[in-house]
Chains A and B, each alone.
Chain A
C-alpha cells in the first residue's frame, strides 16, 4: 500500500467472488501469437464449429443484445450437442441465455443481465436454473462487462472505471478498488475478459470473415478482438471485392475470425436491424412452455432436439412466409 493511501486512511475494497477467466495479458499474447492471420477461406457449418471449437468447460460469449442480432443457430447447437460446464458472459443476454439455460449448458456465469427478456418478462426456467444454486455467480454490470471485454481487446489485464463502488454489485463482483497514480482518485479496477469462444451474427461478411454490421454495435467489435476463437454467422456472404470497395466499413477484420457460417435469418426469433423484426409470438411460446419442466422438455424436443439444423427450425416456425411477415414489420410496411 502506498504512503498516500496510508496517510489518507483509505480502505481499498475487493469483491468477494471469483474471476472465471485468466486476465493475464502475456498469457493472452502467447495465445494470439499462435492464432492464424492467414487470409484463407473459413466457411464451415454450425455442427462442425460447435463440435470442434467449443470444449466442455470453456468460457463463451454471445454477441448482439439478447434478442437482437444474435447467432441463434450456435446457441441451439450448443444445447443440441449437450455441451456442459461452460462459463458464460451474461452480458446483455436474454433469449440466448434462455436457450442455454434450457440446456443447462453452463455452471458459472458473469452476470450483467440474466433471466429477463426485457419488456417481455422473465424466463421461468432460467430463473429456476439460477435459483437452484447449480450456477456459480459473479455480479457485474453491462458497462463493466463491456469494459472488461474492451480491456482484453486492448491487450491489457484490467481497466479502471468510476461505476459500481459502494454497492452490493461491487461486493459480489471480483473487482478491486485502486487509486489513480496521477490524481489519487479512487477507481474500480475490472479484470480483462478473454473468452475462449465467441459467436457473433452479422449482416454481411466474406469467406475470410471481413464483416459489415448495420445498426447498434453493442460490444461486438471488442468481443471479436477479445475472444480466443471467433465464429461469425452471417445473413449473407458477400464478395471480398465488396469489402475492398469500402474498407472503412469493415466492422470486424478477418484476423479475428476463425470460422464463417452462412446463416440467413440467423438472429430469428430475435430482431435483425433493417432485415426482420423479432417474432414476439414465438418468444411468447418459449416463455409459456417454460412454466413447468415437463412442457419445456416437450418444447425443446419439438424445436431443438427434434430438428436437425436451424433451417428445419425456421421451417417449423413458419418458414419464408413468417420471415416475410417479420421483414414487413421491421421495415414498417405492416404494423404489428
Chain B
C-alpha cells in the first residue's frame, strides 16, 4: 500500500467525486487541488470555475486568491462575480467545496464567528464570502476537513452557509432551491453522506487505519451509519504521483 498523508487521501477521495463534464466552483487550497487532480485523471473536461469570474482556466500553478490571474490563465472566459453566481442560481453548477470552523449534523457550516453576541464576537472569522451563495445555489456541496469533536458539533454558533438547516424538508421550506444541499463530507477518517429522509449526517465508508469508534469519538453528535459500511479505497499510485508531481509539486497543500 502506498504511503500518503491525510490531506493527500482527502484530495484523492474528493477528486473521485467530480465526474467528467461537470462544473465545479472551487476556492484556493485543497478543493482546487482536488479539481486539478480530477482533471488530470478521469475528468479531463471538468469545468473549474472561480467566484471572481474565471471559467475553465488551464491552471499553471495553484492560485493564491480566487481572483488572481492564475484563475483565468488561458481560460475559456474571464467573467464577473455576478456571472458566476447567476450561473449557480440558474442551476448550471454541479459541485462546490466549502470549509469552516464548525459543521453540524445537517451539514450547516460556520465560518463567521465563535461566541453568542454577533455585535461583539469572541472570535471573528472572515464570514460567508461566497460560501453561503455556493452552498445555497450549487446542486451538491462537499466539505473536506480534518475531523474532531469540536469541529463536528450539534451546538453550531452561527449558520453561515446552509446545509439541510433543521433537517427533513426544512431547507426547501426556507426557500432555497429544490434538490440542492450537502452531498459528501470527506474527513481524514471517513466519508459521510446524509440520510434521505431526516438529512442527518450518515457514515458511508471508513478510511484505512480508522475504526468505527474513532469516527464516532471524533464527532460531537451521534452519527448515523449506512447499512453497509465500505472501506474507502486508498489513493492509488497514479493518483499520488499526479498529485505530487503535477498538481502540487511545491507541496503548498499536501505539505500542510
Contacts and interface: CB of A to CB of B under 8 A. Distances in A.
Contact of B127 (A66, A112, A119): A112
Interface stretch (A30-38, A156-164, A316-324): A156-164
Contacts of B29: 119
Interface residues of B, number: 58
Given A115-B124, A142-B81, A162-B137, A215 B69 contact: yes
B78 A216 contact: yes
Contact of A115 (B82, B120, B126): B126
B127 A221 contact: no
B176 A122 contact: no
B5 interface: no
A25 interface: no
B162 A166 contact: yes
Contacts of B80: 146, 216-221
Given A162-B176, A216-B79, A277-B69, A167 B126 contact: no
Interface residues of A, number: 66
A41 B241 CA distance: 58
A131 B171 contact: no
A59 interface: no
A235 B192 CA distance: 49
A121 B69 CA distance: 19
A148 B53 CA distance: 18
Given A130-B124, A139-B128, A215 B118 contact: no
B128 A273 contact: no
B65 A118 contact: yes
Contact of B28 (A90, A118, A177, A215): A118
A168 interface: yes
A187 B177 CA distance: 10
Interface string B158-192: 11111001000011001111000000000000000
A162 B52 contact: no
Contacts of B130: 112-113, 141-143
A116 interface: yes
Interface in B107-165: 108, 112, 118-133, 136-137, 158-162, 165
Given A163-B132, A332-B60, A65 B67 contact: yes
Contacts of B52: 65, 68, 92, 216, 218
B60 A119 contact: no
Contacts of B88: 143
Nearest to B50: A216
Interface string A75-119: 000000000000000101010000000000000000111111011
Contacts of A132: 120
Contact of A172 (B69, B71, B72, B118): B118
A268 interface: no
A118 B66 contact: yes
B100 interface: no
Contacts of A277: 68-69
A222 B83 CA distance: 12
Contacts of B72: 215-216, 273
Nearest 9 interchain pairs by C-beta: A166-B174, A65-B67, A216-B53, A113-B129, A186-B175, A143-B133, A163-B136, A116-B126, A143-B85
Given A147-B82, A162-B137, A166-B176, A112 B129 contact: yes
Interface in A308-336: 330, 332
A185 B176 CA distance: 10
Given A141-B131, A143-B133, 15 more contacts: A64-B67, A68-B69, A118-B64, A118-B65, A130-B121, A131-B124, A139-B112, A142-B81, A142-B129, A143-B81, A163-B89, A167-B160, A169-B160, A217-B79, A278-B68
Nearest to B128: A141
- Of A147, A167, A277, chain B has the most CB atoms within 10 Å of the CB of A167
B88 to A, nearest CB: 8
B53 A166 contact: no
B128 A162 contact: no
B107 to A, nearest CB: 12
Given A67-B65, A141-B129, A166-B175, A216 B71 contact: yes
A174 interface: no
A274 B69 contact: yes
7 contacts: A116-B129, A141-B127, A142-B128, A164-B132, A216-B67, A277-B69, A278-B64
A120 B64 contact: yes
B54 interface: yes
B192 to A, nearest CB: 21
Nearest to B53: A216
Interface in A216-266: 216-222
B34 to A, nearest CB: 15
Given A133-B120, A140-B128, A217-B53, A146 B82 contact: yes
B51 interface: yes
Contact of A119 (B64, B122, B126): B64
Contact of A167 (B28, B60, B85, B132): B132
Given A115-B125, A162-B177, A217 B119 contact: no
A207 B29 CA distance: 41
B140 to A, nearest CB: 16
